[in-house]
Chain A
Amino acid sequence: CVFVVPEFPGLGHSGGGSTLLGYIGIDTIIEQMRKKTMKAGFDFNIMIVGHSGLGKSTLVNTLFKSQVSRWSSGWGSEHKIPKTVEIKAVSHVIEEGGVKMKLTVIDTPGFGDQINNENCWDPISKYINEQYEKFLKEEVNIARKKRIPDTRVHCCLYFISPTGHSLRQLDIEFMKHLSRVVNIIPVIAKSDTMTLDEKNEFKHRVRKELETHGIEYYPQNEFDDDMEDKNENDKIRETMPFAVVGSDKEFQVNGKRVLGRKTAWGVVEVENPNHCEFALLRDFLIRSHLQDLKEVTHNIHYETYRARRLNDNGGLHPISANNTQESNL
């Protein structure tokens, strides 16, 4: 990435603030911060939810251009549906341009696969709250670590089945229960099953249904900081949920090698904006809003959890590293 250093203000009047008589170098703090964060590295925790077979693992691998899903860590090649929802977290460190990222992909096999799926989101909700609790305990400690390990879920990609009709009951129930606890980004999975018209109609219907049920997906309306943010986010909200296709295979199209899916009638190109919205999702998730996802998780979702906990307990006493306090979730 390119880093732009702002021009230093020359001698003379600047609007409103005190006149600078020379160049101090305050702006170099940005460069110092950048160096430090690059050294420290980032961590990002993404959860993928959806019933089996919607291409979740393939999409995550395509997003991060590496084999980061649990299938690549030797979990076995048998796609057996577990009897209850399991939470499987796998971490990898990926590096790009000198920036290291510890990416944790949290998979939820078994979600929505049973005949009776009532409350199948409970294990997921429990996991998310457990991560908040872990962080809270560290924060409240007397002897705190310099950098608290962050296992909180920054983003939850929810995979909608491309039926072409509307959302399923389970989709609504899940998002209703969890949109106030974690950042949910709904995506339409395997969207190469719909023509352009069907896709647009389906997206329109889904957005309307989400609105009817008061489900706020990320980026949430209420957290827009200023007009600039709002405009940018409005545009994104209008195109969501993104209709995506994932693939880890390359094919030759017009002399170029592209990621795609080869069928008897053509090649679906994953990164072609005319074919699907994968590129939009990637840019949104990774190139522009990655940091914002973490901030919203920390400043809003985590704070909500913390406030609730402190109120419930009548105040959480700072505990030493030896004592552990029971969480009353």
Chain B
Amino acid sequence: MDAIMLQEKLVERLLCPRVRTARRKEKQYVGFATLPNQVHRKSVKKGFDFTLMVAGESGMGKSTLVNSLFLTDLYKDRKLLNAEERINQTVEIIKHTVDIEEKGVKLKLTIVDTPGFGDAVNNNECWKPITDYIDQQFEQYFRDESGLNRKNIQDNRVHCCLYFIPPFGHGLRPVDVEFMKALHEKVNVVPLIAKADCLTPNEIKKLKDRVREEIERFGIKVYQFPECDSDEDEEFKQLDKELKECCPLAVIGSNTVVEARGQRVRGRLYPWGIVEVENQSHCDFVKLRNMLIRSHMHDLKDVTCDVHYENYRAQCIQDMTSKLTHDNRMESPIPILPLSTPDVETDRLIKMKDEELARMQEMLNKMQQQIHDGKDQ
């Protein structure tokens, strides 16, 4: 009895006031309104996983930001390479996994790091190891999904890629544009302005406007926040609007704790002032954390599964079937994406008309020649 009472109380909190008053009118109800709660409990038991990729040149503060976001120290054993050691280094892919638990919810977080990106003198195609890695994860999942034992599929697909744009430029550089274009159809790309504490508020605004304009101009499809449902409360809608207007987010990270305004906070101590990482008027770190973890984590995973993975899968299947069917255009059992296949009938008609036109032109020429000859005579 107690458990049902507890569930009812939880349901009441979940449902909006309208239904609650309606329910009070009816004395009997079925009870499947507790479903969201059941789902919630089951998934809490199972735990969540999330794979985040960070990309950008070295020295952009990627590791520091990751540590700040997840309040961990994933990189404490890292040794920084000097320029000489980095001379022949190619782009590597390094994974760090950490299990975080908070209020009974377990999260298996995987951070995919890409050291070496953009550091060489010649950076042609330096994003190739990264795109290859993403494709590999998709391929792995595809195989598992099509396999026989599907109980314990490991989802290693990359759910989100944070791309760090240097604050020192006047906008996107060629390497930024090329990287994002290579990845925007494989993974959710979230561009960030790194080390934003070296910019004044005016400069940040100018840079954001510039980057937004260039993203649109080059046709880069960065991750779009989903539209709010119309029944969300005003506060949520307002937050969502603010978030959309702030993109790309200008962030600062810190591994150190400083004393500011009587409190101990994460920040950076300069001779001219203290930057607080979690102060919304200093940078967009809080917005990023809220977006990434508190509101859109699930959506990022959904978009990865429903859009990027499905695109990959469709492309994969298409490649496979086109190899099988070769030149034959027979109906394949596996549904292919509706492509604009050249219509055989129309082709034939066009060809016929062409031939007819050619014949008529020839006749016209002959007639003209005859008239011309006739005139001469």
**A79-B170, A169-B83, A268-B272 are contacts. A163–B121 as well, Cβ < 8 Å?**
no
Q: Determine if B122 is an interface residue (Cβ-Cβ < 8 Å).
A: yes
Interface string of A219-257 (1 = CB under 8 A from B): 000000000000000000000000000000000000000
| Chain B residues closer than 8 Å to A116, beta-carbon distance | 121-124
Residue of B nearest to A247 (CB): B200
Q: Quick check: B268 and A209 within 8 Å, CB to CB?
A: no
Residue of A nearest to B272 (CB): A266
Q: Quick check: B80 and A165 within 8 Å, CB to CB?
A: yes
Q: Determine if A296 is an interface residue (Cβ-Cβ < 8 Å).
A: no
Q: Quick check: A53 and B272 within 8 Å, CB to CB?
A: no
State how many angstroms separate the Cβ of A264 from the closest Cβ of chain B: 5
Q: Quick check: A262 and B82 within 8 Å, CB to CB?
A: no
Q: Which of B169-185 contact A (CB under 8 A)?
A: 169-171, 173-175, 178
State how many angstroms separate the Cβ of B261 from the closest Cβ of chain A: 11
Q: Quick check: A115 and B178 within 8 Å, CB to CB?
A: yes
State how many angstroms separate the Cβ of B81 from the closest Cβ of chain A: 8
**A167-B83, A169-B86 are contacts. A263–B201 as well, Cβ < 8 Å?**
yes
Contact of A190 (CB < 8 Å), options: B120, B173, B198:
B198
State how many angstroms separate the Cβ of A121 from the closest Cβ of chain B: 10
Question: How far is A52 from B195 in the complex, measured between Cα atoms in Å?
Answer: 17
Question: How far is A113 from B123 in the complex, measured between Cα atoms in Å?
Answer: 11
Contact of A265 (CB < 8 Å), options: B174, B195, B199, B273:
B273
Q: Quick check: A169 and B119 within 8 Å, CB to CB?
A: yes
Q: Which of A39-90 contact B (CB under 8 A)?
A: 51-55, 79, 81
Residue of B nearest to A164 (CB): B59
Q: Quick check: A163 and B59 within 8 Å, CB to CB?
A: yes
**A169-B83, A263-B273 are contacts. A193–B195 as well, Cβ < 8 Å?**
yes
Q: Determine if B168 is an interface residue (Cβ-Cβ < 8 Å).
A: yes
Name which of B31-39, B98-106, B274-282, B334-342 contacts chain A.
B274-282
* Cβ contacts A to B, 21 pairs, < 8 Å: A52-B169, A52-B170, A55-B168, A79-B171, A115-B174, A161-B166, A164-B61, A165-B80, A166-B82, A168-B119, A169-B83, A169-B86, A172-B83, A208-B82, A212-B84, A263-B201, A264-B201, A264-B281, A265-B273, A265-B282, A266-B270
Give the A-binding residues of B (Cβ under 8 A): 57-61, 80-84, 86-87, 119-124, 126, 166-171, 173-175, 178, 195, 197-201, 268-276, 281-282
